[in-house]
Structure 1
């Protein structure tokens, strides 16, 4: 099955559709999200049904029959062209990402750039056969074969990069994939699948937008072979339990609680910006952000003073404004969790070094 990548055409980022079997589709019921910076309504998106899921799964299974027989070189060529097209639409992707997720535009641009880089980097991996045993009696060869149809459940904090990480992992290894973006951030995911129709056979990369009912439709579907999920531990447990009903292969990337240990021989001035950024990037809505700091007592006071001073320089505001570092909390659910953290100041008798107030709109 020869793949001849197209050059690609610019996307229209004003309307948003599901991608099923290479076609843009909508549904009788639609919904929209809220721009977290200004509370304005974002465009309407489809709410996928069981019938939509069944059609997408059938298309993915049909496409798998041929796509799984392509070579790594053919897949690499298609993915490389896809990466080029993401770069060509990078500004529009970044603006849409800021609209739906809230992160500052420069951080959104970085995420989009990392997505295309992810494609190019991962497709450099050579997946070779391994000879496990060879003697006069037998030769045992280990081969890595495509699994089938994958379902990708993507979170709202990095909806472009994490969608692409799942897409390229599946497609490069000969699988087909159905992407389910978060209901909080469906827009870029829908456009990634729409863009993919220019470079891949119909059914190889699809995307369904929906509400909270869509996830279980995918995890319980008997003709989806693999689920990859990134999100919270609580939801991850539900995903694993749901996948167990059909003995699906499942990959869970769940929440972290990451510490940073600062020794007394560090260059404080050099590491303060690094620690500050890695504590607060994306308004700290990232599993890999620093959650706890352990600072050597010899440098504690100086370190604390300089970290507070650096944090005061980080601008808060709408992500489209110049030099903003802190955008809004992405959604009401996350906002309530942040408010709970503030209550621990009183209940745990904590000492506050940089005060502030909660604006509840």
Structure 2
């Protein structure tokens, strides 16, 4: 056991060892598991596999820490959080490199911005406050609405943005007075373990614990009676299991789940100028993001020209190891997802759909590389249209009537995000307002911010992250009635 984080090596690279973070200490585990570099297919590091007892210990420490942490008040907690952001910034380069090695995303264009945004997010959230509201005052009494912290938050975080999506949860949970135990994805635990190690020298013991391990830890976290809320980001099917498990103790639950986001390119769009935005909206992070563009609906009047322009832009990109500064598209993160994406390609070919770019996976290459693949005008019934591919495959679908495009976009059990593109902003907004989504962009894509609420509709989620609304969900509304 150690009370201090391991230091960065002289060359600015951290290569372990990795520990669990429990009760302010760095804790070893008797078991470990391999973490694979998706660009090489080789073992990158060994991560500790927490026991059930160690997870219980982390939750118990968080419960104890909650009393003093919640009593600090916003200003006291802000000082700790700013110090934590400073410490993360001092380790920024190593965190970004580690993120590329375990997740696969290009260092310069994806990993470094992810770490930078995470640090900025902590600082911005630390400035936010939820104030006491006077909802009624008469000569006889006053009624106040307070928002008190819930207790111990259990966070289950995914492998596609393992730094950002974790710290997006940490910041609002901690500033509102809660403590947190994070279970990172077993595919990408290293960056979370590392930022947990850094936290132990900054935050009071038990305020933030990181406990890595297999999928068996998830149910233990969601069933645990001392967890007040589960904040989960991941697949819809796993989210359903989380919701059922949380019901036993009536936990608060926020679920950010899958999506099949549609982009509608209106007939008046200057489509050539927006090709880069649409490409990266679909293929950024190798297509592995919940709000990525999964379906492109393009008006038939310029559909052929659009497909050719999209292909031309795609051919300018380089597929490879994200540590190569010329690489813009990295590998798919893990073998499981690699096989799923290949299955989509096999289905497209088996059904005679028109692949106009990519589609050939060289399985002799090391790592999990899927080339950017473009499918021209598959039928609406195609699997690549109906399901979430979560990989670098882009179906570009022709439509004739905007009403039909809206109906197709909404014909999905998912409703996370969407986008609408056109010169007539008012007309584009009118279309956007008819999309059944939790978030929709007009003539931009993937803009996020600490004050911008983000959540899903239908089977894409439950509750809200970010914004004032998201911060409220880490609190309990408590009505205080005072006789004068």
Instruction: Tell me which of 335, 353, 357 is aligned to 2:356.
Output: 353
- Counterpart Cα distance in 2 of 1:318 and 1:119: 29
Residue 255 of structure 1 corresponds to: 258
1:264-296, Cα deviation, whole Å (9 max, x unpaired): 322223201110111101100101110011112
Give the aligned partner of residue 279 of structure 1. Answer: 282
TM normalised by structure 1 equals 0.95
Structure-2 residue corresponding to 1:317: 320
Question: Which residue of structure 1 lines up, in the alignment, with residue 36 of structure 2?
Answer: 34
Match of 1:210 among 206, 209, 213: 213
- Tell me which residue corresponds to 1:81: 83
Quote the residue 1:21 is aligned against. 23
CA distance in 1, matches of 2:46, 2:190: 9
Partner of 1:99: 101
CA contact (8 A) 1:317 1:324 kept: yes
Whether the 8 Å contact between 2:182 and 2:209 is mirrored in structure 1 is yes
2:345 and 2:359 in contact (8 A); partners too: no
Question: Is 2:159–2:185's contact at 8 Å kept on the other side of the alignment?
Answer: yes
Match among 134, 154, 157 for residue 154 of structure 1: 157
Alignment-derived partner of residue 56 in structure 1 = 58
Paired positions, count: 354
Find 2:342's aligned residue among 335, 339, 342: 339
1:10 CA drift (Å): 4.9
Tell me the secondary structure at the aligned position of residue 288 of structure 1: coil
1:119 aligned partner = 122
Aligned mates of 2:6, 2:345 — CA distance in 1:
48
Q: Does 1:289 align with 2:292?
A: yes
- Cα distance, 1:337 vs. partner? 1.2
Corresponding residue to 2:307 among 304, 307, 316: 304
Contact in 2 for aligned 1:160/1:188 (Cα 8 Å): yes
CA distance in structure 2 between the aligned counterparts of 1:10 and 1:16, rounded to whole angstroms? 11
> What residue in structure 1 maps to residue 172 of structure 2?
169
Deviation at 1:322?
A: 2.0
Aligned with 1:47 (options 46, 49, 52): 49
Relative to structure 2, which stretch is displaced further, 171-180 or 264-273? 264-273
Of 165-174 and 262-271, more deviation after overlay is shown by: 262-271
> Comparing both structures, which one devotes a greater share of its residues to strand?
2
Whole-Å separation in 2 of the counterparts to 1:149 and 1:62: 9
Q: Match of 2:73?
A: 71
- In 2, the alpha carbon distance for the partners of 1:11 and 1:57 equals 28
Aligned-pair CA distance for 1:136: 2.5
Matches of 2:50 and 2:147 in 1, distance apart?
33
Structure 1 residue 53, shift from structure 2 partner: 1.2
Q: Which runs of 5+ in 2 are unaligned?
A: 365-484
User: Is the CA contact (8 Å cut-off) linking 1:10 and 1:89 kept in structure 2?
Assistant: no
Task: Name the Cα RMSD after superposition.
Answer: 1.5
Q: Is the 8 A contact 2:265 2:271 kept in 1?
A: no
Out of 161, 185, 190, which is 2:188 matched to?
185
Shift in CA distance, 275/101, structure 1 to aligned 2, threshold 3 Å: same
CA distances 1:225-245 after superposition (whole Å, capped 9, x unpaired): 111000000100011111111
> Alignment partner of 2:262: what SS?
strand
- CA displacement 1:24-61 (0-9 Å, x = unmatched): 01111111111111112122111111110111111111
